[in-house]
Amino acid sequence: MHVGDDGRLWITTDVPRLGTDEQRAALGNSALLCADPESGRIRRFLTGPRGSGISGVSAAPDQRTLFVTVMGPGWSGSPLGEPTAADPRAVSNWPGHDGDGRPRSAVVVVRREDGGIIGT
């Protein structure tokens, strides 16, 4: 979680490591949520790739750049599938989508096209 200077609460989720297969299927992919204290609304800001967890979030001091950590894309576990040495991309090949690549954790940098404050 991260609390912005304006009080917005950024909430990370890690669905692949929760509960039963049925519970994970009901929840879908991991996500980053933003809770706005002024409106009382909670909105989904982004959804992670299959089999990943959104494990960290931080913002630049001016709140115009957000850094989001995507952990373990392609994590094994039914019903998503089971990566093997022969097919490490059975669940995901994010972030490169290279046919010969492997899923990798990464930090995603988010900025608005208009240069505004993220999440508003």
Average pLDDT rounded to a whole number, residues 100-116: 92
Listed as own residue / partner, the contacts of 27-32 with beta carbons closer than 8 Å and 24 or more positions apart are 30/54, 32/57, 32/68
Which structure tokens are listed for 91? 């669940």
The model's confidence at residue 17, banded by pLDDT at 50, 70 and 90, is: confident
pTM score: 0.84
pLDDT at 79 > cutoff 70 = no
pLDDT at 78: 56
